[in-house]
Amino acid sequence: MQVRRDCIVILVVLAFATACGRQPNVPDSSSAKEQKLPFDRESRANGVSPSRSLVPAATRLSEGEAIMIRLRAELSSASARVGDTFDATIDEPVVNDGQTLVPQGAAAVGRVLAARRSDGKDNGYLRISLVSIQTTGKTVLLDTSSIFAKGGARDGAPRDVVFTPDRRLTFHLTKAVDLP
């Protein structure tokens, strides 16, 4: 009787171990008709893509991007002081993959980083950078390269630097920036 009960227990354990070793109703992954998960499928041309319609596309100006501006008023080493700001407009639109990211005519603001007026012995100089642009009604802060200009002596007399209105200047982003 004991032997018979031991045989039954062994058979039950073997049957249980065999049943646990296979996965019922799971298709064989090596089959030729492998199914894709819903998020692996291509979107339909006429369907709605949640990732495109609900999440706004990030618009980014890359490091090194050139931003060309035109001054709105004269900027001179004779009157400029460190920390002064100057107004400008975007001279050429900033375009990426055919999309205009910053339109021509958008407002821009620059800052005087260093300035010295001519003292009669040495030429004056200016160092300026672009600090922000206005796009889609919002101000976007920028980190850009700076422009350094030194006055040139004329007739032996040291001169100040003078950027006239409508002077075109080009700055390059030193850090990428996301646009609204």
Domain for residue 39, yes or no? no
Can you give the CATH number for the domain in which 129 is found? 2.40.128.260
Backbone angles phi, psi at 16, to 5 degrees: -65, -45
Domain that holds residue 80: 61-173
Domain for residue 13, yes or no? no
Q: Quickly list H helices, the chain.
A: 2-20, 50-53
Domain for residue 33, yes or no? no
Determine what percent of the chain is predicted with pLDDT higher than 90.
54
Q: How confident is the model at residue 102 (pLDDT cuts 50, 70, 90)?
A: very high
Please tell me the distance from the alpha carbon of residue 72 to that of residue 107, in angstroms, as a whole number: 10
The domain tally of the chain equals 1
pLDDT at res. 17: 60
Please tell me the distance from the alpha carbon of residue 16 to that of residue 10, in angstroms, as a whole number: 10
Domain for residue 118, yes or no? yes
Domain for residue 38, yes or no? no
In tens, the pLDDT along 40-63 reads: 556 555 555 555 444 455 588 999
Domain for residue 93, yes or no? yes
3-state secondary structure of 172: strand
pTM score, two decimals? 0.67
pLDDT at res. 147: 97
Domain for residue 8, yes or no? no
